Homo-oligomer: A and B are copies of this chain.
Amino acid sequence: MTREFAFIDALRAIAVNPAARGLADDAAVLELGGQKLVLTMDTLVEGVHFLPDDPPEDVAWKLVAVNASDLAAKGAEPLGCLKSHALGDEDWDRAFLAGLDLACRHFRVPLLGGDTVRMPPGSARSFSLTALGRGPEDRPVPSRSGARPGDLVWVSGTLGDSGLGLELLTSGSRVQTPEATLLANRYRRPMPEPSLGVALAPLATAMMDVSDGLLVDARRMAMASKVAIRIAADEVPLSRALVATVGDGLEQRIAAMTAGDDYVLLFTAPAVNSAFVHAAATCAGSRVHPIGTVDEGEGIALDWHGQPAPLPEKLGYQH
């Protein structure tokens, strides 16, 4: 058990309010005057979640995007955000604000407040953002624990692009092609879709965002829901850019399913509702892809063209 995991376990003993959802969901859900307030907070640390030479506009975009992704996962319409900012170089901060403005407009999450602090010299800076959204009015906010046998498993976008983009950016090679640029952009500017989350929430039995890798996140959903999730590796959507760059076999698909930073939605819905699921996604201007099934049992399993395939040792980014 890592330090981070042990610490979160200790936090859980404090966060006993039902709105905290046992710190086991993407967001807290607070009932207030007949409304459901969805609350999430994510922090990006220099040297941990971004590199000192990453474009500041992208760091700001990512800060907003990772929180917007949590709102999307709970079917919440964004209401606003508060940001804590560690001051750095003046030009860097100015560029960061330009990216922040752009991202706040794109995700329709207006900046409402926050705090600005100085750091001691030589310290890594960190940026925290709290985002608020309004959950569905007439039904529960989807959790990770509602998947039921008979459901299909869906994702809302291609997997592995961001992870490969990061790999290309850090290796320094092949970043000149249009495909590499597209992949790098998926890493730098994740594009979660809160409006898609809002459209899917009434149909989803369970929903979360994929941030640490599809397989590890699917296992978290299976554990929370006390079911087994079986994923058809050959059904997982891949981008043309990824296939053009690394090819398309089981090995590449496993890499794509265990890479982080996808920020797409993973959700389940009864198989009989599949036409409605497709229609809701179309209405929200997006597409969704069935990639597996929910069964009695526990854990996750992988199929490759109808035959069981072994799970990789590492399912994704483990905290």
Contact = CB atoms under 8 A, between A and B. Distances in A.
Interface string A34-50: 11010111110111110
B117 A39 contact: no
A9 to B, nearest CB: 11
Nearest to A41: B82
A33 interface: yes
Contact of A3 (B41, B87, B123, B126): B87
A244 interface: no
Given A4-B116, A14-B104, A43-B117, 14 more contacts: A11-B85, A11-B111, A11-B114, A15-B113, A17-B112, A20-B112, A32-B37, A39-B80, A39-B82, A39-B130, A43-B86, A43-B115, A45-B117, A46-B120
Interface residues of A, number: 66
Most chain B beta-carbon contacts within 10 A, residue among A15, A43, A45: A15
A117 B113 contact: no
Contact of A126 (B100, B117, B132): B117
Contact of A128 (B43, B113, B134): B43
18 contacts: A14-B101, A15-B110, A16-B110, A17-B80, A17-B112, A28-B112, A30-B80, A32-B33, A33-B33, A40-B113, A41-B113, A41-B130, A45-B119, A48-B118, A86-B126, A122-B122, A123-B124, A126-B126
Interface of A: 3-4, 7-8, 10-11, 14-17, 19-21, 23, 27-28, 30, 32-35, 37, 39-43, 45-49, 79-80, 82-87, 90, 93-94, 97, 100-101, 104, 110-120, 122-124, 126, 128, 130, 132, 134
Contacts of A128: 41, 43, 84, 115, 128
Given A14-B100, A130-B82, A32 B30 contact: no
